[in-house]
Amino acid sequence: MELLAAMGGLLSESAKPTGKAQVAIMQAMETLRSGDTVELSDLTRGKDFLGVHFKSVQSAAAALAKKGMIKYDGTHAVTKL
């Protein structure tokens, strides 16, 4: 039973955004409604993205999509689930 509880904790930890770019993307998307799509270039205009290279933002969006937190078209737009 303790092993299952520990595994559940690990799974929930892996679904959390990690890194500056992932956290900033999720914070920027908080104001959107489910199904809303926004360009990454529009998201990166915020102060949370200062000093973050655009390629890192794209990688972060891909990682969040892989975790099932957002939908990412692979180049420039993300959709809130």
In the chain the domains, ranked by start, together with CATH numbers, are: 17-80 (1.10.10)
37-39 and 77-80 beta bridge pairing: antiparallel
The pLDDT, as a whole number, for residue 6 is 43
Q: Are 57 and 67 in contact (CB under 8 A)?
A: no
Per-residue pLDDT of the chain (81 residues; tens, 9 = 90+): 343 344 344 445 667 899 999 999 999 999 999 999 999 999 999 888 988 999 999 999 999 999 999 999 999 999 999
The DSSP line for 12-27 is HHHTS--HHHHHHHHH
The pLDDT, as a whole number, for residue 11 is 42
The pLDDT, as a whole number, for residue 15 is 79
